[in-house]
Amino acid sequence: MQIGEEVIRERAERGARAAQSGLLVNASLALIKFLAGVLGNSYALVADAVESLVDVFSSFIVWSGLRISARSADEQYPFGYGKAEALAAVVVGLMLVGAASGISIEAVREIRIPHHSPAPFTLAVLLAVIAVKEVLFRRVFKVGAEVESTAVKGDAWHHRSDALTSAAAAIGIGIALVGGPRWASADDWAALAAAAVILFNGVRILRPAVGDLMDRSPEGEVVERIAAAAMSVPEVAATEKLKVRRAGLGLFVDIHVQADPAMSLHDAHVVSGKVKSAIQAAVPTVLGVLVHMEPFEGEPA
Protein backbone atom coordinates (compact mmCIF):
# COMPACT_ATOMS: atom_id res chain seq x y z
CA MET A 1 0.00 0.00 0.00
CA GLN A 2 1.31 3.46 -0.95
CA ILE A 3 1.96 6.13 1.69
CA GLY A 4 -0.89 8.25 0.33
CA GLU A 5 -3.35 5.37 0.61
CA GLU A 6 -2.24 4.72 4.19
CA VAL A 7 -2.78 8.39 5.08
CA ILE A 8 -6.22 8.38 3.45
CA ARG A 9 -7.24 5.19 5.24
CA GLU A 10 -6.08 6.52 8.62
CA ARG A 11 -7.99 9.77 8.08
CA ALA A 12 -11.09 7.91 6.94
CA GLU A 13 -10.99 5.79 10.09
CA ARG A 14 -10.72 8.88 12.29
CA GLY A 15 -13.62 10.51 10.48
CA ALA A 16 -15.69 7.33 10.75
CA ARG A 17 -15.10 7.15 14.51
CA ALA A 18 -16.23 10.76 14.87
CA ALA A 19 -19.37 9.99 12.86
CA GLN A 20 -20.08 6.92 15.02
CA SER A 21 -19.84 8.91 18.24
CA GLY A 22 -22.21 11.50 16.79
CA LEU A 23 -24.64 8.78 15.74
CA LEU A 24 -24.91 7.37 19.26
CA VAL A 25 -25.34 10.79 20.89
CA ASN A 26 -27.92 11.93 18.34
CA ALA A 27 -29.98 8.76 18.69
CA SER A 28 -30.18 9.27 22.46
CA LEU A 29 -30.99 12.98 22.20
CA ALA A 30 -33.62 12.46 19.50
CA LEU A 31 -35.52 10.03 21.72
CA ILE A 32 -35.27 12.29 24.77
CA LYS A 33 -36.40 15.40 22.89
CA PHE A 34 -39.26 13.66 21.11
CA LEU A 35 -40.69 12.23 24.34
CA ALA A 36 -40.23 15.54 26.16
CA GLY A 37 -41.86 17.44 23.28
CA VAL A 38 -44.90 15.16 23.12
CA LEU A 39 -45.38 14.96 26.90
CA GLY A 40 -44.56 18.65 27.40
CA ASN A 41 -46.74 19.94 24.53
CA SER A 42 -43.85 21.62 22.68
CA TYR A 43 -43.78 21.41 18.90
CA ALA A 44 -40.45 23.27 18.85
CA LEU A 45 -38.96 20.42 20.86
CA VAL A 46 -40.56 17.84 18.56
CA ALA A 47 -39.09 19.71 15.57
CA ASP A 48 -35.72 19.68 17.30
CA ALA A 49 -36.07 15.92 17.79
CA VAL A 50 -36.73 15.53 14.07
CA GLU A 51 -33.52 17.45 13.35
CA SER A 52 -31.62 15.12 15.67
CA LEU A 53 -33.18 12.13 13.94
CA VAL A 54 -31.91 13.50 10.62
CA ASP A 55 -28.51 13.80 12.27
CA VAL A 56 -28.65 10.09 13.15
CA PHE A 57 -29.17 9.14 9.52
CA SER A 58 -26.62 11.70 8.32
CA SER A 59 -23.95 10.36 10.69
CA PHE A 60 -24.65 6.86 9.42
CA ILE A 61 -24.38 8.06 5.81
CA VAL A 62 -21.11 9.89 6.53
CA TRP A 63 -19.72 6.81 8.27
CA SER A 64 -20.70 4.61 5.32
CA GLY A 65 -19.31 7.10 2.80
CA LEU A 66 -15.97 7.26 4.57
CA ARG A 67 -15.72 3.47 4.72
CA ILE A 68 -16.31 3.25 0.98
CA SER A 69 -13.96 6.12 0.15
CA ALA A 70 -11.11 4.40 2.01
CA ARG A 71 -11.13 1.44 -0.38
CA SER A 72 -8.13 1.04 -2.64
CA ALA A 73 -8.46 1.58 -6.39
CA ASP A 74 -9.23 -1.47 -8.51
CA GLU A 75 -9.84 -2.32 -12.16
CA GLN A 76 -13.46 -1.18 -12.03
CA TYR A 77 -12.66 2.08 -10.21
CA PRO A 78 -9.08 2.93 -11.22
CA PHE A 79 -9.26 6.35 -9.54
CA GLY A 80 -10.52 4.88 -6.29
CA TYR A 81 -13.73 5.38 -4.33
CA GLY A 82 -12.92 8.80 -2.90
CA LYS A 83 -15.97 10.59 -4.26
CA ALA A 84 -18.21 8.46 -2.06
CA GLU A 85 -17.24 10.92 0.70
CA ALA A 86 -18.49 13.94 -1.25
CA LEU A 87 -21.60 12.03 -2.33
CA ALA A 88 -22.35 11.31 1.34
CA ALA A 89 -22.07 15.03 2.09
CA VAL A 90 -24.56 15.81 -0.71
CA VAL A 91 -27.05 13.32 0.71
CA VAL A 92 -26.63 14.86 4.17
CA GLY A 93 -27.23 18.36 2.78
CA LEU A 94 -30.36 17.26 0.92
CA MET A 95 -31.68 15.59 4.06
CA LEU A 96 -31.30 18.86 5.96
CA VAL A 97 -33.12 20.79 3.25
CA GLY A 98 -35.93 18.23 3.33
CA ALA A 99 -36.16 18.33 7.12
CA ALA A 100 -36.32 22.15 7.07
CA SER A 101 -39.17 22.06 4.56
CA GLY A 102 -41.19 19.55 6.58
CA ILE A 103 -40.69 21.40 9.86
CA SER A 104 -41.67 24.73 8.26
CA ILE A 105 -44.94 23.33 6.91
CA GLU A 106 -45.88 21.80 10.24
CA ALA A 107 -44.83 24.90 12.22
CA VAL A 108 -47.09 27.14 10.10
CA ARG A 109 -49.98 24.73 10.68
CA GLU A 110 -49.37 24.79 14.43
CA ILE A 111 -49.24 28.60 14.48
CA ARG A 112 -52.71 28.75 12.92
CA ILE A 113 -54.19 26.27 15.45
CA PRO A 114 -54.50 27.48 19.10
CA HIS A 115 -52.97 25.11 21.65
CA HIS A 116 -51.68 24.93 25.23
CA SER A 117 -48.38 26.38 26.37
CA PRO A 118 -45.40 24.00 26.70
CA ALA A 119 -44.49 22.45 30.04
CA PRO A 120 -41.66 24.11 32.05
CA PHE A 121 -39.51 20.95 32.11
CA THR A 122 -39.07 21.15 28.32
CA LEU A 123 -36.88 24.24 28.79
CA ALA A 124 -34.50 22.35 31.11
CA VAL A 125 -34.24 19.53 28.55
CA LEU A 126 -33.27 21.98 25.81
CA LEU A 127 -30.60 23.72 27.86
CA ALA A 128 -28.92 20.36 28.52
CA VAL A 129 -29.16 19.45 24.83
CA ILE A 130 -27.54 22.74 23.76
CA ALA A 131 -24.50 22.08 25.94
CA VAL A 132 -24.07 18.50 24.69
CA LYS A 133 -24.45 19.40 21.02
CA GLU A 134 -22.04 22.32 21.14
CA VAL A 135 -19.34 20.12 22.67
CA LEU A 136 -20.01 17.47 20.02
CA PHE A 137 -19.82 20.07 17.22
CA ARG A 138 -16.40 21.27 18.35
CA ARG A 139 -14.98 17.75 18.63
CA VAL A 140 -16.29 16.49 15.28
CA PHE A 141 -15.41 19.69 13.39
CA LYS A 142 -11.84 19.50 14.69
CA VAL A 143 -11.54 15.96 13.35
CA GLY A 144 -13.11 17.01 10.02
CA ALA A 145 -10.65 19.88 9.63
CA GLU A 146 -7.67 17.67 10.50
CA VAL A 147 -8.60 14.92 8.02
CA GLU A 148 -9.84 17.47 5.42
CA SER A 149 -13.23 15.75 5.04
CA THR A 150 -16.19 17.69 3.64
CA ALA A 151 -18.57 15.02 4.90
CA VAL A 152 -17.22 15.01 8.47
CA LYS A 153 -17.28 18.81 8.65
CA GLY A 154 -20.81 18.68 7.27
CA ASP A 155 -21.73 16.22 10.00
CA ALA A 156 -20.24 18.63 12.55
CA TRP A 157 -22.36 21.47 11.21
CA HIS A 158 -25.35 19.22 11.76
CA HIS A 159 -24.47 19.21 15.44
CA ARG A 160 -24.08 23.01 15.44
CA SER A 161 -27.44 23.45 13.65
CA ASP A 162 -29.00 21.15 16.24
CA ALA A 163 -27.58 23.32 19.02
CA LEU A 164 -28.92 26.46 17.32
CA THR A 165 -32.36 24.98 16.75
CA SER A 166 -32.42 23.91 20.39
CA ALA A 167 -31.49 27.48 21.38
CA ALA A 168 -34.31 28.86 19.20
CA ALA A 169 -36.72 26.37 20.72
CA ALA A 170 -35.57 27.33 24.23
CA ILE A 171 -36.23 31.01 23.51
CA GLY A 172 -39.67 30.22 22.11
CA ILE A 173 -40.59 28.02 25.06
CA GLY A 174 -39.30 30.64 27.49
CA ILE A 175 -41.47 33.32 25.89
CA ALA A 176 -44.49 31.00 25.91
CA LEU A 177 -43.98 30.17 29.58
CA VAL A 178 -43.53 33.78 30.68
CA GLY A 179 -46.24 35.24 28.44
CA GLY A 180 -48.88 32.66 29.19
CA PRO A 181 -51.56 31.28 26.80
CA ARG A 182 -51.55 34.41 24.63
CA TRP A 183 -47.93 33.70 23.72
CA ALA A 184 -48.26 29.94 23.29
CA SER A 185 -47.53 30.22 19.55
CA ALA A 186 -44.00 31.50 20.36
CA ASP A 187 -43.03 27.85 20.62
CA ASP A 188 -44.11 27.29 17.00
CA TRP A 189 -42.42 30.45 15.75
CA ALA A 190 -39.25 29.10 17.33
CA ALA A 191 -39.73 25.90 15.34
CA LEU A 192 -40.02 28.00 12.17
CA ALA A 193 -36.81 29.85 13.03
CA ALA A 194 -35.14 26.50 13.66
CA ALA A 195 -36.19 25.35 10.19
CA ALA A 196 -34.48 28.42 8.68
CA VAL A 197 -31.24 27.52 10.47
CA ILE A 198 -31.48 23.92 9.27
CA LEU A 199 -32.03 25.09 5.68
CA PHE A 200 -29.01 27.42 5.87
CA ASN A 201 -26.76 24.61 7.09
CA GLY A 202 -28.10 22.25 4.42
CA VAL A 203 -27.12 24.69 1.68
CA ARG A 204 -23.79 25.32 3.40
CA ILE A 205 -22.98 21.61 3.26
CA LEU A 206 -24.22 21.14 -0.31
CA ARG A 207 -22.09 23.81 -1.97
CA PRO A 208 -18.58 22.43 -1.25
CA ALA A 209 -19.76 18.83 -1.67
CA VAL A 210 -21.17 19.53 -5.13
CA GLY A 211 -17.94 21.38 -5.93
CA ASP A 212 -15.91 18.28 -5.06
CA LEU A 213 -18.12 16.11 -7.26
CA MET A 214 -17.52 18.56 -10.12
CA ASP A 215 -13.72 18.38 -9.64
CA ARG A 216 -13.35 21.84 -8.18
CA SER A 217 -9.74 22.76 -7.41
CA PRO A 218 -9.00 22.48 -3.65
CA GLU A 219 -8.80 25.67 -1.62
CA GLY A 220 -5.89 26.82 0.50
CA GLU A 221 -2.16 26.56 -0.13
CA VAL A 222 -2.15 22.96 -1.33
CA VAL A 223 -1.83 23.91 -5.02
CA GLU A 224 1.12 26.20 -4.25
CA ARG A 225 2.81 23.44 -2.25
CA ILE A 226 2.42 21.04 -5.15
CA ALA A 227 3.92 23.53 -7.61
CA ALA A 228 6.81 24.26 -5.24
CA ALA A 229 7.49 20.55 -4.80
CA ALA A 230 7.70 20.04 -8.56
CA MET A 231 10.10 22.97 -8.94
CA SER A 232 12.31 21.55 -6.18
CA VAL A 233 13.49 18.82 -8.55
CA PRO A 234 16.85 20.07 -9.95
CA GLU A 235 16.17 19.02 -13.55
CA VAL A 236 12.86 20.92 -13.71
CA ALA A 237 13.20 24.30 -15.45
CA ALA A 238 9.54 25.35 -15.30
CA THR A 239 6.00 24.07 -14.71
CA GLU A 240 2.66 24.97 -16.25
CA LYS A 241 -0.95 23.82 -16.58
CA LEU A 242 -1.13 22.51 -13.03
CA LYS A 243 -4.52 20.93 -12.33
CA VAL A 244 -5.54 19.48 -8.98
CA ARG A 245 -8.84 17.81 -8.18
CA ARG A 246 -10.19 16.31 -4.98
CA ALA A 247 -11.60 12.80 -4.74
CA GLY A 248 -12.90 12.52 -1.19
CA LEU A 249 -9.92 12.69 1.17
CA GLY A 250 -7.38 12.27 -1.65
CA LEU A 251 -6.04 14.46 -4.46
CA PHE A 252 -5.11 13.81 -8.08
CA VAL A 253 -2.58 16.03 -9.86
CA ASP A 254 -2.04 16.76 -13.56
CA ILE A 255 1.07 18.87 -14.28
CA HIS A 256 3.20 19.88 -17.28
CA VAL A 257 6.93 19.97 -16.53
CA GLN A 258 9.54 21.62 -18.75
CA ALA A 259 13.12 20.30 -18.86
CA ASP A 260 16.25 20.29 -21.03
CA PRO A 261 15.20 19.62 -24.70
CA ALA A 262 18.31 17.49 -25.22
CA MET A 263 17.31 15.11 -22.44
CA SER A 264 16.77 11.49 -23.50
CA LEU A 265 13.38 9.80 -23.18
CA HIS A 266 14.79 7.60 -20.42
CA ASP A 267 16.08 10.59 -18.45
CA ALA A 268 12.77 12.42 -18.93
CA HIS A 269 11.00 9.40 -17.48
CA VAL A 270 13.32 9.44 -14.48
CA VAL A 271 12.66 13.17 -13.93
CA SER A 272 8.89 12.61 -14.07
CA GLY A 273 9.29 9.97 -11.36
CA LYS A 274 11.24 12.43 -9.21
CA VAL A 275 8.51 15.04 -9.67
CA LYS A 276 5.84 12.56 -8.62
CA SER A 277 7.82 11.51 -5.53
CA ALA A 278 8.50 15.14 -4.55
CA ILE A 279 4.81 16.06 -4.81
CA GLN A 280 3.62 13.06 -2.81
CA ALA A 281 6.25 13.73 -0.15
CA ALA A 282 5.11 17.36 0.16
CA VAL A 283 1.39 16.51 0.13
CA PRO A 284 0.81 12.94 1.41
CA THR A 285 -2.88 12.94 0.43
CA VAL A 286 -1.95 13.06 -3.27
CA LEU A 287 -2.90 9.63 -4.61
CA GLY A 288 -1.94 10.08 -8.25
CA VAL A 289 0.31 12.38 -10.31
CA LEU A 290 0.25 12.60 -14.10
CA VAL A 291 3.40 14.34 -15.35
CA HIS A 292 3.63 15.67 -18.92
CA MET A 293 7.28 16.22 -19.92
CA GLU A 294 7.90 19.13 -22.33
CA PRO A 295 11.04 20.82 -23.74
CA PHE A 296 12.11 24.03 -21.99
CA GLU A 297 12.39 26.79 -24.58
CA GLY A 298 12.99 29.78 -22.33
CA GLU A 299 16.19 31.45 -21.22
CA PRO A 300 18.27 29.45 -18.70
CA ALA A 301 18.14 30.76 -15.15
Check if the beta carbon of residue 54 is closer than 8 Å to that of residue 158. yes
CATH of 3-213, one of 1.10.150.120, 1.10.10.200, 1.20.1510.10, 1.25.40.10: 1.20.1510.10
Distance, CA of 209 to CA of 45 (rounded, Å) = 30
pLDDT for position 279: 92
Instruction: Determine contact, residues 49/34, Cβ cutoff 8 Å.
Output: yes
Task: Reply yes or no on whether the pLDDT at 300 is more than 90.
Answer: no
**What pLDDT is attached to residue 78?**
82
Give the pLDDT confidence score for residue 125 in this predicted structure: 84
DSSP-H helix ranges across the chain: 3-39, 43-69, 83-112, 121-147, 150-179, 186-213, 222-231, 265-282
Q: Where are the domains of the chain?
A: 3-213, 222-295
- Residue among 264, 269, 241 nearest 254 (CA): 241
Q: Which residue has the higher pLDDT, 32 or 220?
A: 32
In this prediction the pTM is 0.66
Q: Which CATH superfamily is domain 222-295 in?
A: Cation efflux protein, cytoplasmic domain (3.30.70.1350)
Percent of the chain with pLDDT over 70: 91
User: What is the per-residue pLDDT for 117?
Assistant: 67
Residue 1: the pLDDT is 47
User: Of the spans 147-161, 166-180, 201-215, 261-275, which averages the highest pLDDT?
Assistant: 261-275
Q: Check residues 99 and 253 and name the one with the higher pLDDT.
A: 253
| Band of pLDDT at residue 71, cut at 50, 70 and 90 | confident
**What stretches of 70-184 show up as alpha helix (H) in DSSP?**
83-112, 121-147, 150-179
pLDDT, one tens digit per residue, over 199-255 is: 887 888 888 888 888 888 887 688 889 999 999 999 988 888 899 988 877 889 999
More confident residue, 151 or 292: 292
Q: Does position 26 have pLDDT exceeding 80, yes or no?
A: no
